[in-house]
C-alpha cells in the first residue's frame, strides 16, 4: 500500500499535514457538536475522539512514506558504492561459483 501511495505521488509531508489537520478538525468537530447539537457532551466527545483517532494513522503512513523517499534517494549512492567496490576488487567475484 505504501509503495502504491508513493508511486501515486503522495509525499510524507502531505500525510504529516493531514495528521495535524485531523487534530484541528477533531477539536473543531467537538466544539461544533457541543455548541450546536442538543445531543450533549457525550456525543461531542465521541465525535472528537473519532476524528482524533485519524491523526496517528496519518503520521504512521507519513513515516512509512519518508522511509520510501529515503530509499529512493539512497539508491544511486548504493549503486555507486557497489560499482566502486567491483572496480577496486573489494567484492569477491562470482566467476568461480
pLDDT, tens only, 59-71:
999 999 999 998 8
Rg (CA), the chain: 23
Query: Does some domain include residue 90?
Result: no
Query: Does some domain include residue 53?
Result: yes
Cα dist. 11→17, 46, 83, 91 in Å? 10, 30, 30, 36
Query: Does some domain include residue 17?
Result: yes
Query: Does some domain include residue 33?
Result: yes
For 19-59, the pLDDT digits (tens) are 999 999 998 888 887 777 776 777 778 888 888 899 999 99
Query: Does some domain include residue 92?
Result: no
| Burial bucket for residue 62 (CB in 10 Å: 0-12, 13-18, 19+) | buried
Q: Give the count of domains, the chain.
A: 1
Query: Does some domain include residue 85?
Result: no
Domain extent, residue 31, equals 2-66
Query: Does some domain include residue 58?
Result: yes
Amino acid at each position: 500500500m505504501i509503495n502504491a501511495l508513493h508511486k501515486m505521488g503522495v509525499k510524507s509531508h502531505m500525510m504529516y499535514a493531514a495528521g495535524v489537520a485531523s487534530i484541528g478538525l477533531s477539536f473543531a468537530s467537538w466544539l461544533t457538536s457541543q455548541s450546536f447539537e442538543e445531543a450533549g457532551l457525550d456525543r461531542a466527545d465521541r465525535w472528537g475522539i473519532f476524528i482524533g483517532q485519524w491523526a496517528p494513522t496519518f503520521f504512521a503512513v507519513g513515516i512509512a512514506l519518508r522511509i520510501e523517499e529515503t530509499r529512493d534517494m539512497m539508491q544511486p549512492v548504493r549503486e555507486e558504492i557497489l560499482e566502486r567496490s567491483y572496480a577496486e576488487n573489494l567484492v569477491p567475484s562470482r566467476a568461480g561459483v
